[in-house]
Amino acid sequence: MALIFFSKDDVDRFEPWKKALKEVLPDLDVRFWKQPGNIGEIEFALVWKPPPGMLKTFPNLRAVFSVGAGVDSLLNDPELPAGIPVCRMVDESLTQGMVEYSILHVLRHHRNQTLLETNQRAAKWITFTSPLAAERRVGVMGLGAIGGPTAKAISGLGFETIGWSRNPKELTGVECMHGKEGIKDFLSGTEIVVCLLPLTPETEDILNKDLFAQLPMGASLINAGRGGQQVEGDILEALDSGQLSHVTLDVFREEPLPPSHPFWKHSKVTVTPHNAAVTQPKTAAILLADNINRLNASQPLINIVDISVGY
């Protein structure tokens, strides 16, 4: 029973993953992609952004596990083996990381921390008041395994919290909207938008000028979903016009973000290097082992991707 590991962005993470997996599945042969050995022995693949066509080279592959929650790069592989289940990685460390990141930046926007830091660098003592959390409406786009707990955590801080998703949801403390018919009401009056959507054909370019125009003037945006969801030119135009007051972006169309990109030096943009939430091998290995054991016992897998909808 062998597993192949590939991670485009985390080339030094093989040993931590191998150690964590061996602790929960001692009989699992964990192999680095550069040293696959007999490829006919490989039954599982644990990958992050593998090159197109890589997975088809393993003739006896039984399941593909994503290192992270996003699976768009996997599903975009035209040679992805048909009939092989693909599973997202949504473990407690990933969810907790996203909750922390979202709360951090919601509070920064809510209390106008960027302005305070600008004033400090200019040695300006300018005081101002912020509204109470209950007077601020925060909207979360995407209410799945990560977005749902994030929205509930934001609500727990006292914010008026609204959520939007593809399908109907019910969350304590969160007013939930869904579908195309719900997006207008979701955006109207929402002062801080947190995007945690998966990247699908329906969500690509969703963060555009038409959406921004439905927000109150001076709203702010936090995107920790996917870079393909944001139209970067529209974001810059909205910032320059004042439609958006500030944006915090953790994801980009091109990563790493090129040094010449205008986001780096824009006074109304906060850039973080796609580290809002990172899968921790120690906790994620437990979920992975559970799925491998389920597969061996012919039981349903958890976090399995519906390829028809993209997540």
Residue type, 203: T
Element (H, E) at 246: strand 244-249
Buried b (16+ CB within 10 A) or exposed e, 5-41: bbbeebeebbeebbebbeebbeebbbbbbeebeeeee
194 in helix, strand or coil? strand
151 exposed, middle or buried (CB, 10 Å; 0-12, 13-18, 19+)? Answer: buried
* Those residues with Cβ within 8 angstroms of residue 262's Cβ, 6 or more apart along the chain or in another chain: 236
Rounded alpha-carbon distances, angstroms, from residue 307 to 53, 78, 82, 193, 246? 17, 13, 10, 27, 35
> CA Rg, the chain, in Å?
21
Structure tokens at 185: 């009401």
- Active-site pick, 108, 110, 166, 226: 226
226 is annotated as an active-site residue: yes
d(CA 202, CA 214): 18
Q: Catalogue the active-site residues.
A: 226, 274
